[in-house]
Structure 1
Amino acid sequence: MRKNSIKNTRINMEVQRELSEIIRSGIKDPRIHPMTSVVAVEVTPDLKYCKAYISVLGDEEAAKATVEGLRSASSFVRRELAKRVNLRNTPEIRFILDQSIEYGVNMSRLIDEVTRDLHDEEEEGL
């Protein structure tokens, strides 16, 4: 099976949806921030390993605590995933903090500041 095959894409989407549901409603760890989302999931073609990219809406401490809580609950998450998704092998899950959304928001803010400064300069020149 190729890495970007249709079957692998479907498996990634299904695992992502179920992981989101498990994190949102199944885990009772207080370290896990309520505004946690699964941004992307990459399951290897042999279904042995899975990288789950997690985004947390909050400060850096909350994000680190959330990833730590998810790593400690990884066996529970894997067991729940095995119950919900019928796969030959249930992948071993690695949770990775994804800061791309935060980066995008920061870049958007910087662009807005520059355009506002340019607009102010144009008004002063008129």
Structure 2
Amino acid sequence: MPRHHQKGSAAPGGGSQRQLRVAETVRHAVAEILAQGSAHDPDLEGHIITVPEVRMSPDLKLATIYVMPLGGRDTETVVAALERNKKFLRGELARRVNLKFAPDIRFRVDERFDEAERIEKLLRTPEVQRDLNSDSDET
């Protein structure tokens, strides 16, 4: 009996259940590799790097890894160092994650922290506070 795949069966959050599960496994493995300091690079030493998200392509052959150094400093230097050590990190990832193919990896700076800060500043502006206070006075 053939399997029929439905087009609209993607899970909320941008991918199938398998993509999300593999992405989370890759995220944990990369975070562990970086926490152990396995990649010996002077630009990575002294940085604590957070891996908040990994997105997998539908065929699971490409992993986009979003990173943010603690404090948000030297982001471009850290991403460049991770790109330089991509081959080593991919090999370590292949040993830790049981997949048919080790995914190609690329690193991106996670912009969500900046976006959250921008929204927080926007919510603290006098105009927004005035509107919030006028809404609470009406009820």
TM-score by length of 2: 0.72
Query: Kindly tell me: are residues 36 and 112 of structure 1, through their superposed partners in 2, closer, same or farther at Cα, counting changes over 3 Å?
Result: same
Residue type of the partner of 2:113?
Answer: I
Structural mapping, 1:79-90, within 5 Å: 79-90=91-102
Residue in structure 2 matched with residue 44 of structure 1 by the alignment: 57
Residue in structure 2 matched with residue 9 of structure 1 by the alignment: 20
What residue ranges of structure 1 are gaps of 5+ in the alignment? 119-126
Asked if 1:21 corresponds to 2:35, the answer is no
- The separation in 1 between residues aligned to 2:16 and 2:43, in whole angstroms, is 36
Higher relative contact order (CA 8 A, sep 6+): 1
Query: Kindly tell me: are residues 79 and 8 of structure 1, through their superposed partners in 2, closer, same or farther at Cα, counting changes over 3 Å?
Result: same
Choose which of 58, 74, 86 in structure 1 pairs with 2:71: 58
Would you tell me which structure has more helix in proportion to its own residues? Answer: 1
Asked if 1:68 corresponds to 2:75, the answer is no
RMSD: 2.4
Asked if structure 2 preserves the Cα contact closer than 8 Å seen for 1:24 and 1:34, the reply is no
Residue type of the partner of 1:109?
Answer: K
Q: Tell which deviates more after alignment, 6-15 or 76-85.
A: 6-15
Asked if structure 1 preserves the Cα contact closer than 8 Å seen for 2:33 and 2:92, the reply is yes
- The separation in 2 between residues aligned to 1:52 and 1:110, in whole angstroms, is 28
Residue in structure 1 matched with residue 108 of structure 2 by the alignment: 96
Query: Kindly tell me: are residues 114 and 28 of structure 1, through their superposed partners in 2, closer, same or farther at Cα, counting changes over 3 Å?
Result: farther
Residue type of the partner of 1:18?
Answer: A
Identity percentage of aligned residues: 28
- The separation in 2 between residues aligned to 1:19 and 1:114, in whole angstroms, is 42
Asked if structure 2 preserves the Cα contact closer than 8 Å seen for 1:47 and 1:88, the reply is no
What residue ranges of structure 2 are gaps of 5+ in the alignment? 131-139
Regions of 4+ moved over 4 Å: none
Alignment coverage as a number of residue pairs = 117
TM-score by length of 1: 0.78
